[in-house]
Amino acid sequence: MRVELILVIEIGYNNQDVPIPDKYPYWEYPELWDKYNSESYKKAGFKDELKPYLAGSSFYRLSEITDRNLIKLLFDHTQEIRDEKYEREQASALFGGYVLRIDGHDKYFPQCCGDLSDIHYWEKLANGKDGFYAGHPQPQVKIDADKIILDFSVDEYDEHFVPTPKDAVVSLNILSLKTGIEIAKQELETFEVRLEKINLDNSLNIDRICELLIWNDENYQ
């Protein structure tokens, strides 16, 4: 079994006065939503075209985001903390998270409130600890010896997963997940270099920017 955690950033700029498509969900009308997102990003000031990980979605593979677009994203994401409108502890890591991909098939996408620091929660699962949380809704989790079972059929808050998982129950091998986590963390370490350079070159002056925007260790217990 091959388990991957695909790093994606969620880029949402829905306040640009671009007419919102009247057909839902986005994965059934991807062309409409791709056009809407593209027009919104251009109006917001992104320099380069953004290609979504999943057609119609606002998820973008971390490694495919250009430096020019990343600079724009970082300026916007950190604006209020740089303006001292709120404390560092109130800030979140970059929105998005990790697409769970098993044997070449996407099984689970980041949900509402997911961010890059959710790598901590995947590590917790891989260590055989329950209490998984990486945004909401969330699957029910069962850990059985060397196997993790994610059940998407029930959620106590009656929320719907977006997009709808093709499989109601997904089983993955813990050792395979650990391998996927290590590969994801290597990509995060590469991303750290990009963040540090942008922070320096553009005088963002954000102390420990990687801890803030990736690991969020101050808010993770």
36-92 pLDDT tens trace: 999 999 999 999 999 999 999 999 999 999 999 999 999 999 999 898 888 888 888
Taking CA atoms, 42 is separated from 13, 58, 64, 72, in Å, by 10, 14, 17, 12
Q: Is residue 94 left, alpha or beta, with left meaning phi > 0 and alpha meaning psi from -120 to 50?
A: beta
Contacts of 212 by beta carbon, 8 Å cutoff, 6+ apart: 88, 91, 93, 206, 218
Cβ 150 vs Cβ 138: under 8 Å: no
Mean pLDDT computed over every residue of the chain: 93
Confidence of residue 130 (pLDDT cuts 50, 70, 90): confident
| Residue 72 C-beta-side C-alpha neighbours within 13 Å | 17
Q: What is the pLDDT of residue 26?
A: 97
Average pLDDT, integer, range 26-37 = 98
Q: How confident is the model over 144-201, as pLDDT tens digits?
A: 889 999 999 966 667 889 999 999 999 999 999 999 999 999 999 999 999 999 999 9
Every domain of the chain and the residues it spans: 3-132+176-219
> Residue 210 is which amino acid?
C
Cα–Cα distance, 170 to 187 (Å, whole number): 25
| Residue 45: how many other CB atoms lie within 10 Å | 12
> Residue 147 is which amino acid?
K
Q: What is the pLDDT of residue 129?
A: 83
pTM listed for this prediction: 0.93
